[in-house]
Amino acid sequence: MAVLQISHGMAEFIDRYTDFAEFLTGHGFLVVGNDHLGHGRSVAASSDFGYFSKKNSKDYVIEDIYTLHQLVKQDYPTLPYFLMGHSMGSFIVRNYLQKYGASVDGAIIMGTSGPKLETALILPILEVLNKLQPRKQNKWVDQLAFGSFNNYFPEDAAEFAWLSENQENVQRYMNHPQTGFIFTNNGFLTLFTLLQDATKPGWANPIPRELPLLIISGEDDPVGQMGVGIRKVFRELEELDFVDITFCSYPTMRHEILMETNHLLVYSDILDWLSKHL
């Protein structure tokens, strides 16, 4: 029927999307994805978690997405092709669409964000640290970027409560050795570079206006500024006269909407959107 390629988020791995992938394959879709550099099975040693590459890491991540896309298209050249990115993966997708937007038939931007003031301030520091200690974990930047997120949920004591209202999902995330690790200086430089280029003024200008886009998020997602940031992204696209954009936000859901207790509602909405764009 169609292909969906998934770009996963920060400090996780592609196999976390197996349940969602099996749901879509049960409805005739082919679902593919790769572990980004510094994640999952792309890691050769424990010191590689959260480390991308010494130079041009943003470009490598985007080209990895394109390489997988090309490999799949060789085997399934006639199938409609969709791309979905969650969280950090949404910033990767937004960068990807700037360069390769004409290569896909639609994109799902999930758990994304509007511009953040600290990005311009922190990037020069990270550029220096990446030259000096690229593989060193940076707990200070981690706290700066994510430390306030749990403040929105004072009733939840879990370290990663902001990820999900589903406590079982949070516990699995905290217990797995390949999730929740702290990024290196190089990893944070890559992340903030992706974020800057995905949210800067005019970021969507190179993207084809006819490309169908789904902006989807939890209403209680701190990454999306509790609904404010994701609406800013949607308005930017509206103002640029994109002809087919859909906005979907779920009350009480947090960052990982595919892992929430009522995840089947999200699954169904995504399936409906994909089916309408075949």
CATH number of the domain where residue 183 is located? 3.40.50.1820
Q: What are the pLDDT digits (tens) for 123-140?
A: 999 999 999 999 999 999
Range(s) of the domain holding residue 31: 2-276
pLDDT at site 157: 84
Residues 62 and 203: their CA atoms lie apart, in Å, by: 15
pLDDT at site 117: 80
With beta carbons less than 8 A apart as the criterion, state whether 71 and 111 touch. Answer: no
pLDDT at site 118: 83
Helix (H, G, I), strand (E, B) or coil at 60: helix
Residues 198 and 89: their CA atoms lie apart, in Å, by: 11
Distances (CA, A) of 53 to 40, 48, 139, 153, 217: 15, 9, 19, 35, 30
User: Is the pTM value of this prediction over 0.85?
Assistant: yes
In the block, tokens 């979905």 appear at: 84
**Regions in the chain scoring below 50 on pLDDT:** none
Q: How many other C-beta atoms are found inside a 10 Å radius of the C-beta of residue 39? A: 26
With beta carbons less than 8 A apart as the criterion, state whether 120 and 197 touch. Answer: no
Residues 175 and 49: their CA atoms lie apart, in Å, by: 16
pLDDT at site 54: 86
DSSP annotation of 220 reads T
- Counted residue by residue, the chain has a size of 278
**Token pair listed for 114:** 């509007």
As for how many domains the chain has, the answer is: 1
With beta carbons less than 8 A apart as the criterion, state whether 141 and 150 touch. Answer: no
Alpha helices in 101-166 (DSSP H): 118-132, 139-146
Q: What are the pLDDT digits (tens) for 36-92?
A: 999 999 999 988 999 999 899 999 999 999 999 999 999 999 999 999 999 999 999
